Structure 1
Amino acid sequence: MKKMVYSMEVMSLVLLALIVSPVNGVSCGDAVSVLIPCGSFLLGDDEPKPSDQCCSSAQSLNKMAETRASRRALCECLKQTGPSFGVNPERAKQLLPLCKLKLNIPISPDVDCNK
């Protein structure tokens, strides 16, 4: 039952993200699709740390958002979609050091993506 609920949440997240238009080469749909392997970890399920596949996906998303404008768009996307799907903010913060991602974007639901 838990896997079915998780699958429905992921599918809903993907569908929502697909309606957001691409900005600066990285669409919100692309970003969310890339992070699907991180779903269990980000939602706070029983995974104590992100999987190797999750970290690989997060690192590839980091490479997709190379410009300041694309990082800003990515920040807005994740800020809007994360809370609506129950992403645990503490888990999102942990993803950066656990996957060895070096980002200058603070992970917080109230972050100002324009800074």
Structure 2
Amino acid sequence: MMAHSTRRANAILVVGMVLAAAMAAVAAAQVSCGDAVSALIPCGSFLVGAVAGAPSESCCRGAQALRGMAGTVGARRALCRCLEQSGPSFGVLPDRARQLPARCNLGISIPVSPHTDCDKIQ
């Protein structure tokens, strides 16, 4: 039981570190990596594959809030760059990141891979 709690805490910390490390890359956008950190911390376990199944309700609420913050093309592109640059080095699984919009009913499809051209995000 303690190992599960430790893994979950580590996963949440990893996602926070992923997004915080890229804060400077998003300075000109309406949504910062700091905003993303706050919104996606509940998604940590899901994004790194530490839990099976669907993301938690709190994760989906955070993802919905982040979607609301990324209301312009510039903000979405900046967020894309933030996540693209840092996510892989901290263990965020691209497949899990791709699943998040559908599993949380965000009504958007964002390509997530190391080869995503963030300049093409609309």
TM-score normalised by the shorter chain: which range applies?
A: 0.7 to 0.9
CA gap of 1:88–1:11, structure 2 versus 1, over 3 A, is closer
Q: Show the 5 A alignment for 1:3-22.
A: 3=8, 5-6=10-11, 8-10=13-15, 12-13=17-18, 15-20=20-25, 22=27
Cα distance between partner residues in 1 of 2:28 and 2:12: 27
CA contact (8 A) 2:33 2:79 kept: yes
Within the candidate set 86, 107, 114, 1:109 is matched to 114
Deviation at 1:11, TM superposition (A): 5.1
Q: Distance in 1 between matches of 2:73 and 2:20?
A: 26
- Pick from 53, 64, 67 the counterpart of residue 69 of structure 2: 64
- Kindly provide the CA deviation profile for residues 44-84 of structure 1, in whole angstroms up to 9, marking residues without a partner as x: 01231100000010011000010111111011111112112
Q: For the residues of structure 1 that align with 2:63 and 2:16, how far apart are their CA atoms? A: 19
- Higher normalized helix content (fraction of residues): 2
Identity of aligned residues (%): 50
**Aligned-pair distance for 1:13?**
3.2
Which range moved further: 37-46 or 103-112?
A: 103-112
Secondary structure at 2:119 match in 1: coil
Residue equivalent to 2:3: none
- How far is 1:38 from its partner? 0.2
TM-score, normalising length from structure 2?
0.81
* Aligned with residue 34 of structure 2, among 29, 36, 39: 29
Tell me the C-alpha RMSD between the 2 structures.
Answer: 2.0
